Amino acid sequence: MDFNKAVEKLSKLNFKNMYEGDFFLTWDKTDDEIKAVWEVADAIRALRERNISTKVFDSGLGISLFRDNSTRTRFSFASACNLLGLEVQDLDEGKSQIAHGETVRETANMISFMADVIGIRDDMYIGKGHTYQKAVVDAVTQGHKDGVLEQKPTLVNLQCDIDHPTQVMADALHVIHEFGGIENLKGKKIAMTWAYSPSYGKPLSVPQGVIGLFTRLGMEVCLAHPEGYEVMPEVEEVAKKNAVATGGKFTKTNDMKEAFKDADIVYPKSWAPFKAMEKRTDLYGKGDMDGIKALEKELLAQNANHKDWACTEEMMKLTKGGKALYMHCLPADITGVSCEMGEVDASVFDRYRDSLYKEASFKPYVIAAMIFLAKFKDPVATLKALESANKVRVHA
């Protein structure tokens, strides 16, 4: 990573509205604001690679709330907070007063007295996750305005029902580095395709995040899935508008081979049908567990009709030169390893294992950058001050 190059690029961007803001959806942000996250992420990583401390907080908390299981995002958030000097406290709703009727407004304020950032993952139920995150921000904003909180903590969306910004921002930064710069992505084809999984109910936020972000880079983004596995139509509209604005393309197909043909990047990933996720949300709201079990059986049977939707060696041969960059948010369902039949052949996954791990490694820095831009009015000066201080992170 080149610290000076990243800071120079950052200084030419307009991102002033990110100060004291939040990060909900990538399409809420301007092009300059998106680029600013990537430049700060690279700058912070460059400092750490040179063993320079990036702790800009002497104290404070990062509050994490995960309403779904997580490995990479949970540890990435903790790593990001620690990188900046914040301690992390996980909010376990089972051990809180939420079960006793505590309101969102009360909970949000009670956890935020010393909090500088709140990271929330709430991706399971359509129409709920993004709405809940907005409610938390409204509560702490009012708490700060009323003098209850000394500062308004920044909210970082660690995945909701609509978007997974920390994941897809990390994915994009990985692609930027793999292809030697954002300017080299224009016209490149990425296939965001559904793939078979022996499980059901996987969120739509990753494929939606990919089509909502990569279309902003002037790329040819192809969304592929069997009939019945549609994503949210409003996110497709975002992708269409982005493609028009950047001179890229947004296409859809029900043929995985068509999507893979001449692709520079492939992203085969299972997700549940949008309409089924809506139905599941309704059933959970009614407490209809028998209905949930019936829906699960129905969706597993539906998935089983499409076992040929898999990233195999034969499919990879269809890509540009047979060497497309394979991407996944992880964990992948690997045929013969984690399941009998799944999203990807073991030989394909193993060939790209190091690349996949590098892809994941960008997430802590992306999250740190989102926090950094929200908390410091002059990020350029703050970054330069960290380099000038040259405080050793590890004393060898």
Grouping H, G, I as helix, E, B as strand and the rest as coil, residue 94 is helix
Asked whether residue 297 is assigned to any structural domain, the reply reads: yes
User: Within this chain, do residues 100 and 243 fall inside the same structural domain, yes or no?
Assistant: no
Q: Could you give the dihedral angle defined by the CA atoms of residues 280, 94, 75 and 34, in that order, rounded to the nearest 10 degrees?
A: 60
User: Within this chain, do residues 175 and 153 fall inside the same structural domain, yes or no?
Assistant: no
User: Within this chain, do residues 94 and 111 fall inside the same structural domain, yes or no?
Assistant: yes
Please give the average per-residue pLDDT across 167-195, as a whole number.
98
Asked whether residue 395 is assigned to any structural domain, the reply reads: no
Asked whether residue 394 is assigned to any structural domain, the reply reads: no
For 145, other C-beta atoms within 10 Å of its C-beta total 10
User: Within this chain, do residues 300 and 339 fall inside the same structural domain, yes or no?
Assistant: yes
Q: What pLDDT does residue 25 have? A: 98
Asked whether residue 273 is assigned to any structural domain, the reply reads: yes
Q: Give the percent of the chain with pLDDT over 90.
A: 91
For residue 100, what pLDDT band results from cuts at 50, 70 and 90? low
pLDDT for 94 beyond 80: no
Contact 35, 8 (CB under 8 A): no
pLDDT for 97 beyond 80: no
DSSP calls for 160-184: ESS--HHHHHHHHHHHHHHTTSGGG
User: Within this chain, do residues 335 and 199 fall inside the same structural domain, yes or no?
Assistant: yes
pTM over 0.75: yes
Contact 74, 64 (CB under 8 A): yes
Helices first, then strands: H and E counts in the chain:
16, 11
pLDDT for 282 beyond 60: yes
Q: What pLDDT does residue 77 have? A: 98
CATH number of domain containing 315: 3.40.50.1370
For residue 26, what pLDDT band results from cuts at 50, 70 and 90? very high
Contact 231, 273 (CB under 8 A): no
Asked whether residue 272 is assigned to any structural domain, the reply reads: yes
Asked whether residue 25 is assigned to any structural domain, the reply reads: yes
**CA atoms of 8 and 380, how far apart (whole Å):** 8
118-165 per-position pLDDT tens digit: 999 999 889 999 999 999 999 999 999 999 999 999 999 999 999 999
Q: What pLDDT does residue 187 have? A: 97
Grouping H, G, I as helix, E, B as strand and the rest as coil, residue 275 is helix
**CA atoms of 324 and 322, how far apart (whole Å):** 6
Q: What pLDDT does residue 98 have? A: 64
Total number of domains in the chain: 2
pLDDT for 215 beyond 70: yes
Mean of the per-residue pLDDT values of the chain: 96
Going by C-beta distance under 8 Å and a sequence separation of 6 or more, which residues neighbour residue 44? 54, 83, 365, 368, 369, 372, 383
User: Within this chain, do residues 348 and 237 fall inside the same structural domain, yes or no?
Assistant: yes
User: Within this chain, do residues 185 and 334 fall inside the same structural domain, yes or no?
Assistant: yes
Asked whether residue 396 is assigned to any structural domain, the reply reads: no
55-86 per-position pLDDT tens digit: 999 999 999 999 988 999 999 999 999 999 99
User: Within this chain, do residues 143 and 182 fall inside the same structural domain, yes or no?
Assistant: no
User: Within this chain, do residues 119 and 55 fall inside the same structural domain, yes or no?
Assistant: yes
For 247, other C-beta atoms within 10 Å of its C-beta total 10
User: Within this chain, do residues 239 and 99 fall inside the same structural domain, yes or no?
Assistant: no
Please give the average per-residue pLDDT across 257-264, as a whole number.
98
User: Within this chain, do residues 189 and 252 fall inside the same structural domain, yes or no?
Assistant: yes
Please give the average per-residue pLDDT across 200-222, as a whole number.
96
Domain extent, residue 375, equals 3-163+363-389
Please give the average per-residue pLDDT across 340-351, as a whole number.
98
Q: Give the percent of the chain with pLDDT over 70.
A: 98
Asked whether residue 205 is assigned to any structural domain, the reply reads: yes
**CA atoms of 61 and 85, how far apart (whole Å):** 9
Contact 43, 3 (CB under 8 A): yes
User: Within this chain, do residues 77 and 147 fall inside the same structural domain, yes or no?
Assistant: yes
